[in-house]
Amino acid sequence: MPYGTPSTESALTKPITINTLRKMKLEKRKFVTVALYDAPMAAMAQKTGIELLLVGDSLGMTVLGFDSTVPVTMEHMLYHVEAVSRGNTMSLIMGDMPFMSYSTPELAMANATKIMQAGAHMVKLEGGAWLAPTVNMLADRGIPVCAHLGLTPQSVNKFGGFRVQGRTKSQAESILQDAKLLDQSGADLLVLECVPVELAKKITESVSMPVIGIGAGKDTDAQVLVINDILGLTERPPKFSKNFLVETASIPGALKKYADDTRNEIFPAEEHIFC
């Protein structure tokens, strides 16, 4: 093995697919997602048995020093998807579509193709009902899609900051209807970010696709956290995050603790959720 090449040893016994995650939802078994950006961390997460690796546009803030995800480009995303794919053989890899890279179905198709060719197994898009035609087009052409509702960071300027979504009755109903429409349009997964617990529970029970929560309580089918938050590297960590490194004193230990606590519904605890 060349010097510096991450080991591809894995705690997973076979490659994770969308069908794996669907089966886990039906069997009410939690799966685990980590947002990360490089080959060594991907290899470490794989060894821990983490099913889903998100190459998130959060890298704009965690790696590149931007104050939001908006400046992240396709070139940034492709570079990091390629890196993560080199460190992984068994986990499912999901690549974020950056800001304005999917504003039309045709543009989405062209850019999703690039992300898939870089090594992702599916793409993630932020937005509600307006995305239904795009999701349908991608799904029809064999590109799996994860939708993202609630606090969608690419819309931070429209929201006026990083704010909890779905607290009013009208907001909650809109998010629920968007989730149902995207499910019917062919989305394979859904990320719900920073929404009240009861809304997340209702959506999880209302759609066939597995739902991944972040700041959405423990009733979703899975959880996702950014690797920097898991390792205590964030200067002002968000409420929904937890530093697992402080409890374990090693990176593999922190990843395993996060995964175990998610599967056993210890994490998220009351202090990590929004009502």
* Amino acid sitting at position 194: C
Strand-pairing partners, residue 34, are 53, 225
d(CA 245, CA 224): 16
d(CA 200, CA 180): 13
Asked if residue 58 belongs to a known ligand binding site, the reply is yes
Asked if residue 261 belongs to a known ligand binding site, the reply is no
Is-catalytic flag, 27? no
d(CA 36, CA 81): 10
Asked if residue 30 belongs to a known ligand binding site, the reply is no
Asked if residue 101 belongs to a known ligand binding site, the reply is no
How many beta carbons lie within 10 A of that of residue 89, not counting itself?
14
Residue of 51, 173, 193, 271 with catalytic role: 193
* Amino acid sitting at position 11: A
Q: Give the torsion through C-alpha atoms of 142, 149, 225, 14, to 10 deg.
A: -20
Asked if residue 51 belongs to a known ligand binding site, the reply is no
Distances (CA, A) of 130 to 108, 156, 181, 265: 13, 18, 10, 34
Residues at the binding site are 57-58, 96, 124, 126
Tell me which residues are annotated as active site.
Answer: 193
Residues at the binding site for 3-methyl-2-oxobutanoate are 57-58, 96, 124
Residues at the binding site for Mg(2+) are 57, 96, 126
